[in-house]
Amino acid sequence: MKIGFIGLGNMGGPMAANLAKAGHEVTGFDMADVEIEGVRMAGGAAEAANGAQVVITMLPNGDILRRVADAVIPAMDKGAVLLDCSTVDVRSARDVAAQAQAAGLSALDAPVSGGVGGAAGGTLTFMVGGDEPGFNIAKELFDIMGQKAVHCGSSGNGQAAKICNNMILGATMIATCEAFALADKLGLERQAMFDVVSTSSGYSWSMNAYCPAPGIGPKSPADNGYQPGFAADLMLKDLRLSQQAAETVDADTPMGRAACDLYARFVEQEDGKGRDFSAMLPRFETRGRS
Residues 6+ apart with CB under 8 A from 190: 180, 183, 184, 213, 215, 216
Comparing C-alpha atoms, which of 259, 268, 212 is closest to residue 240?
A: 259
Q: CA 66 to CA 97: how far, in whole Å?
A: 10
Task: Report, as residue numbers or ranges, the catalytic residues.
Answer: 162
Measured distance CA(105)–CA(113) in Å, rounded:
25
Helices (H), the chain: 12-21, 45-49, 62-72, 90-102, 115-121, 132-145, 157-186, 190-197, 205-208, 232-249, 254-268, 280-285
236 CB-side CA count, 13 A: 18
